[in-house]
Amino acid sequence: MTERTRLVIFDVDGTLVDSQGDILGAMSHSFTAQNLPVPARRDILGIVGLSLDVAMSRLAPEADAQGVAALVQGYKDAYMELRARTGAAQSSPLYPGALEALRELHAMPGLLLGVATGKSKRGLDKLVEAHDLERYFVTRQVADFHPSKPHPSMIYQAMAEAGTAPSETVMIGDTSFDMEMARAAGVGALGVSWGYHPVAHLQAAHRILDNFAALPGALAGMWERAS
């Protein structure tokens, strides 16, 4: 009997790593440089996961296309500068238990891991390299090549690259965008309580996790439900 291939897709910011310091700092720099009021912390964290152009349009609805582009570039420049000061591993540390969970899942036969993030390819590559995570992910979906979350394009491509069906795929994330993306793609959705969106916003999740230690059991439950 052929063993099933299953895929677990992780969001990055707010799920695997806590990058809010650099995100908040880069947003503050970008808006200040354009002589715009800096959005509230709650509002900034509320758009984490969206592609930058979509995020900036939400944070600055009065800005025209040129203004949005300036905010995006200002954010990118500031983020790179902030990351360079301390290094990606320090400025975007892994959440407690994240590395152990990746190691455990990676060792399971027939289980593949991937990521789907609003980060750019360059940003994700630097983060993966800084934390020495290259070996774990067979598919990496980034904002450069897809519509913004919650469009399901990232999950569709991840499944195509991994060779898995929706019933054998689970998305893990901390935002409503991740959960809505998972539902739109017809895959399982596990929310996490330690990220940037309030748990009350994760209503589309099949289950909410409070720590990484609960992940293997939650996945087993998801697979059993899909069988």
Q: Give DSSP secondary structure letters for 129-178.
A: HHTT-GGGEEEEE-GGGSPPTTSTHHHHHHHHHHT--GGGEEEEESSHHH
Specify whether the CB–CB gap between 149 and 178 falls below 8 A.
yes
Specify whether the CB–CB gap between 194 and 184 falls below 8 A.
no
Structure tokens at 5: 């291939």
Residues 200 and 197: their CA atoms lie apart, in Å, by 8
Query: Could you identify the residue written with the tokens 């009350």?
Result: 200
- 111 membership: H or E segment, kind and range: strand 111-116
Q: Tell me how far CA of residue 209 lies from CA of 44, 119, 193, 222, in angstroms.
A: 23, 23, 6, 13
In tens, the pLDDT along 168-227 reads 999 999 999 999 999 999 999 999 999 999 999 999 999 999 999 999 999 998 887 766
Give the pLDDT of residue 3: 60
Residues 62 and 87: their CA atoms lie apart, in Å, by 34
The pTM (predicted TM-score) of the whole model is 0.90
Specify whether the CB–CB gap between 11 and 178 falls below 8 A.
yes
The stretches in the chain having pLDDT less than 70 are 1-3, 226-227
Catalytic residue list: 11, 13
- 113 membership: H or E segment, kind and range: strand 111-116
- 112 membership: H or E segment, kind and range: strand 111-116
Give the pLDDT of residue 1: 33
